[in-house]
Amino acid sequence: MADEGTKTKQMCPECGSNRLVRDFDRGELICATCGLVLKDKFYDMGPEWRAFDSEQRDKRGRVGAPMTFTIHDKGLSTMIDWRNKDVHGRDISPTSRAQIYRLRKWQRRIRVSDAAERNLAFAMAELDRISSHLSLPRSIREAAAIIYRKAVEQNLIRGRSIESVAASCIYAACRQRGVPRTLEEIAEYARVDKKEIGRSYRFIVKELNIRINPTNPTDYIPRFSSELGLSSHVQQRAIEIINQAIDMGLTSGRGPMGIAAAALYIASIEGGERRTQRDVSEVAKVTEVTVRNRYKELQERLNINIDV
DNA sequence: AAGACGAAAGTGGTTGA
DNA sequence: TCAACAACTTTCGTCTT
């Protein structure tokens, strides 16, 4: 519903009234007197800065979660009274009683479909917001939206927050397309914690029978190594190490990020571009201890010697 | 002083009875 | 539903460069 009578300096070109009203749900500016729609995009949600890679975007982004778009009708909706009395308290005639009964029925129907629409719109906005923060390609966002719609169709949202389901759809879409983002990264921008997202994710994947390959640690390498400023040579070597590790079955049951981190650590030292365990563990979002454990293992089993 | 190391205790999720 | 279990984290003291 529209905000009540936000007065602006502008005048309606149709009727000359200055009672222009903003409808935030649709992003429209409307004349309250004659109903003319003046602009259908009075705000621009896009950032005023440009970013050329995800790091820059992270640094420049300062958009937080909106606080008050969750109350679905902002308490402004009208309800037809259940009593069969008119405004003067008199009984309503049987003929108009039947009419009013039909009106009530329709109002109920419209209101629920209205709420469903709104929830969907909210979820889509949430998908957009998160995926733009993570610089995800359009195709992933679309995939996430499709998953979300399926979840709605099968009534999987009930009992779960829209936010957590939206976030888990993004996670699922990323996993499906081999563009891995960690749960952490998604949780950073979603208004739900990692645990919640993980729970919804598992549930939805199970219920919708989405087939998801186990994450390959090599998928993380390009992103991590670019964040560490490592050369493509080192990057290549890290992938090589991981593939060897996979062949020897060293990766099963291990967290893919830990493996990726360890391989990058080894490769960076071999290539003379040493990064500290701390640096590597930071971009991979694991602890130094994990990096250490993994890299000790890899070093031992693959007979890699690092002379410092 | 920073980085690397490893022990020990704690956490959250999976599995199998 | 519960306990055992593996992977990973947190924390902290010690060693190395």
| pLDDT over 60 (residue A181) | yes
- Count of other CB atoms within 10 angstroms of residue A229: 10
Question: Phi/psi at A32 (nearest 5 deg)?
Answer: -75, -15
Residue nearest to nucleotide C8 (CA to C1'): A290
User: How is A280-295 classified by DSSP, letter by letter?
Assistant: HHHHHTS-HHHHHHHH
The residue with greater pLDDT, A224 or A214, is A224
User: How is A111-150 classified by DSSP, letter by letter?
Assistant: HHHHHHHHHHHHHHHHHHHHHHHTT--HHHHHHHHHHHHH
Give me the pLDDT at residue A135, please. 84
Confidence of residue A23 (pLDDT cuts 50, 70, 90): low
Give me the pLDDT at residue A281, please. 93
The HSE-up count of residue A223 (CA atoms within 13 Å, CB side) is 22
Task: Report the percent of chain A where pLDDT is more than 90.
Answer: 20
Give me the pLDDT at residue A25, please. 46
Residue limits of CATH 1.10.472.10 in chain A: 115-208, 217-301
The 3-state DSSP class for residue A44 equals coil
- Closest alpha carbon to A271 in A251, A241, A298: A241
Any strand B atom closer than 7 Å to A206 CB: no
Question: How far is residue A184's CA from residue A83's CA, in Å, rounded to a whole number?
Answer: 53
The H or E element spanning position A20 is strand A20-23
Residue limits of CATH 2.20.25.10 in chain A: 1-63
Residue nearest to nucleotide C11 (CA to C1'): A289
Q: Please provide the CATH number assigned to the domain covering A1-63.
A: 2.20.25.10
What's the CA–C1' distance between A276 and B1, in Å? Answer: 15
Confidence of residue A169 (pLDDT cuts 50, 70, 90): very high
Residue with structure tokens 């040493």? Answer: A274
The 3-state DSSP class for residue A52 equals coil
Confidence of residue A293 (pLDDT cuts 50, 70, 90): very high
Any strand B atom closer than 7 Å to A289 CB: yes
What's the CA–C1' distance between A155 and B13, in Å? Answer: 26
The per-residue pLDDT of chain A, averaged, comes to 76
The residue with greater pLDDT, A163 or A105, is A163
Question: What does pTM read for this prediction?
Answer: 0.66
The residue with greater pLDDT, A134 or A62, is A134
**Are A107 and A73 in contact, with CB atoms under 8 Å apart?**
no
User: What are the tokens at A272?
Assistant: 């003379």
What's the CA–C1' distance between A233 and B2, in Å? Answer: 27
- Closest alpha carbon to A107 in A73, A133, A63: A73
Convert the pLDDT of each residue in A225-271 to its tens digit: 999 999 999 999 999 999 999 888 888 778 899 999 999 999 999 99
**Are A206 and A156 in contact, with CB atoms under 8 Å apart?**
no
Confidence of residue A2 (pLDDT cuts 50, 70, 90): very low
Question: How far is residue A66's CA from residue A128's CA, in Å, rounded to a whole number?
Answer: 13
Give me the pLDDT at residue A29, please. 63
Residue nearest to nucleotide B12 (CA to C1'): A195
Give me the pLDDT at residue A260, please. 93
| pLDDT over 70 (residue A43) | no
Question: How far is residue A266's CA from residue A299's CA, in Å, rounded to a whole number?
Answer: 8
Of the candidate ranges A98-102, A269-273, A294-298, the one whose mean pLDDT is the lowest = A98-102
Question: How far is residue A259's CA from residue A242's CA, in Å, rounded to a whole number?
Answer: 7
Mean pLDDT of A166-192: 86
| pLDDT over 60 (residue A74) | no
Question: How far is residue A264's CA from residue A239's CA, in Å, rounded to a whole number?
Answer: 8
Question: How far is residue A261's CA from residue A279's CA, in Å, rounded to a whole number?
Answer: 10
Is CATH 3.40.50.880 the classification given to domain A217-301? no
Question: How far is residue A14's CA from residue A20's CA, in Å, rounded to a whole number?
Answer: 12
Q: Are strands A37-39 and A20-23 parallel, antiparallel or unpaired?
A: unpaired
Question: Phi/psi at A30 (nearest 5 deg)?
Answer: -125, 140
Q: Please provide the CATH number assigned to the domain covering A115-208.
A: 1.10.472.10
Any idea of the CA torsion for A199, A201, A207, A208, to the nearest 10 degrees? 170
What's the CA–C1' distance between A278 and B4, in Å? Answer: 10
Confidence of residue A81 (pLDDT cuts 50, 70, 90): low
**Are A110 and A128 in contact, with CB atoms under 8 Å apart?**
no
